């Protein structure tokens, strides 16, 4: 009985995660958007803008424009922390 419950919960978690990823990837995202999302995922879902810039090697303005696009799409959140922009991925 317990094994069946664990299997069911595992399947539900995997399906919900897959749907979240498909929802993000199904939008009009270009390669830069996907790079930002992948980098945030790789580093735990949250980075300062300066860290994200260093890791992606994107120009500051290009990065900011894409971060704002992703924010407007509800994919990331931008918070001011000690005067710095912290970009947080909202979808798993």
Q: Is residue 86's pLDDT more than 80?
A: yes
Q: Is residue 25's pLDDT more than 60?
A: no
How many domains is the chain built from?
1
Q: CA-to-CA distance for 87 and 31, rounded, in angstroms?
A: 18
Domain range for residue 40? 2-89
Q: Which of 56, 66, 4 is nearest to 30 (CA)?
A: 66
**Strand partners of residue 48:** 86
* CA distance to 11, 33, 54, 55, per residue, from 40 (Å): 25, 11, 12, 10
Q: Which residue has the higher pLDDT, 65 or 4?
A: 65
* CA distance to 2, 20, 39, 52, per residue, from 26 (Å): 36, 10, 18, 23
What's the mean pLDDT when you consider all of the chain? 85
- We report the CATH number of the domain holding residue 14 as 1.10.10.10
């Amino acid at each position: 009985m317990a094994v069946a419950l664990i299997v069911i919960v595992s399947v539900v978690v995997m399906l919900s995660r897959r749907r979240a990823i498909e929802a993000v990837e199904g939008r009009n995202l270009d390669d830069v958007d996907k790079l930002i999302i992948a980098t945030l995922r790789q580093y735990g879902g949250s980075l300062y803008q300066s860290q994200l810039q260093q890791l992606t090697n994107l120009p500051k303005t290009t990065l900011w424009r894409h971060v704002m696009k992703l924010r407007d799409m509800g994919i990331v959140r931008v918070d001011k922390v000690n005067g710095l922009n912290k970009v947080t991925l909202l979808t798993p």
